[in-house]
Amino acid sequence: MPTSLARVSIDELRDIAKRVRKDIVTMVYQAQSGHPGGSLSAVELGVSLFWNHLRCDPANPTWPGRDRFILSKGHATPFYYSILAERGFFSTELLSGFRSLGSPLQGHPSMSAAPGIEMSGGSLGQGLSFAIGQSLAARLDKRDYRCWVLMGDGELNEGQVWEAAMAVPHFALGDRIIAMVDRNGIQNDGFADTIMKTHPVEMWTGFGWHVIECDGHDMAAVDKALAEAEKPHDQPRLIVAHTVKGKGVSFMENNPSFHGKAPTKEQLEQALAEIEGGLS
């Protein structure tokens, strides 16, 4: 098997997470648009996944046996592109072109536009279905790769999510698909509980999934939850990561206005300092 896992320590993962957070705020600042809040909330999930769980080969990004990471919450591109770059899929220099004319790094992901981008996204609710197709193909082709799907909690409003949620256990794809929900509690228009209240744990449990909850910003807890999800189980696994929108930057944390807004120059400098200092 080609290169698969990086297998790094929790301390190293935390250092990587800092770099990713700095990339996120810098990219959104440079583009003067983008979605920092739901990117910052997903950092620990993404870093733990890409360095310790996702079997991938950045030098051979279309290796047919690779695990697939499917970003269903497609607006979280700053987090996604940063992780792909930091993991070696492409140069970090590309990040400065985020959202600009001529860059492969569009505001929402465009499949195959840059190495590692597995699915076109931006319209919510489509990732889990895509993973089902990839996984059924793997079964036909006798491959053992796994699909990891990251959804937002606001995204759970979309009906297609639940069409797919019932299909995964129906097709017995539990050992091929692991789903994750970034439960940051905020969606585009405001707090999720006021826009459209969902009950992720009860809803996914009711659809026949085994739900694993974790503190989405405790790197050790996240890493452990992902490892638990990889263990065989008679139900498909879904991780509900309890997170904070805008995590790591004081004025973005739990602030709905930073779902899709760029910082000013002064705010960027404050954000970078807070991330470096490890705001807790």
Partner 1 sequence: MTSAPTSAATREAYPFGLIDLVEQGVDVVAIDADLSVSTMGYKFGEKYPERWLSVGVAEQNMVGIAAGFAAAGKTAFIASFAAFLPGRCFDQLRTSVAQPRGGLSVKCVASHGGVTVGEDGMSAQAIEDLALATSLIPFDVVVPADFESARQAIVAVGKTSRPAYVRTGRPKVAAIYDASYRFELGRANTLRAGTDVTLIACGILVGVALQAAEVLAGQGVSARVLDMATIKPIDREAVLAAARETGAIVTAEEHQTHGGLGTQVARVLAEELPTPIAFVGVDRYGTSGKWDELLGYFDLTPQRLAQAARDVIARKR
Token couple for 105: 């790094």
Position 140 contacts partner 1 (CB under 8 A): yes
CA distance 66 to 211: 25
Query: Strand 186-187 to strand 190-191: parallel, antiparallel, or no bridges (unpaired)?
Result: antiparallel
CB of 134 to partner 1, least distance (A): 4
Token couple for 4: 């698969």
- Residue among 89, 98, 91 nearest 66 (CA): 89
* Contact map string, positions 153 to 182, toward partner 1, x by CB under 8 A: ------xx--xx-xx--xx-----------
CB of 171 to partner 1, least distance (A): 8
Are 191 and 256 contacting, i.e. CB atoms less than 8 angstroms apart? Answer: yes
CA distance 196 to 152: 13
CB of 126 to partner 1, least distance (A): 5
Figure out which of the listed residues 126, 184, 187, 198 binds partner 1, where binding follows CB under 8 A: 126
Position 56 contacts partner 1 (CB under 8 A): no
Position 77 contacts partner 1 (CB under 8 A): no
Complex with partner 1: residue 30 or 120, whichever CB lies closer: 120
Complex with partner 1: residue 114 or 239, whichever CB lies closer: 114
CB of 175 to partner 1, least distance (A): 16
Figure out which of the listed residues 4, 92, 96, 112 binds partner 1, where binding follows CB under 8 A: 112
Partnered with residue 181 across adjacent β-strands are 151, 240
Figure out which of the listed residues 5, 59, 137, 273 binds partner 1, where binding follows CB under 8 A: 137
Are 79 and 11 contacting, i.e. CB atoms less than 8 angstroms apart? Answer: no
- Residue among 244, 266, 262 nearest 25 (CA): 262
Phi/psi of residue 69, nearest 5 degrees: -100, 120
Residues of the shown chain interacting with partner 1 in the complex, contacts defined by CB under 8 A: 64, 110-113, 118-123, 125-138, 140-141, 159-160, 163-164, 166-167, 170-171
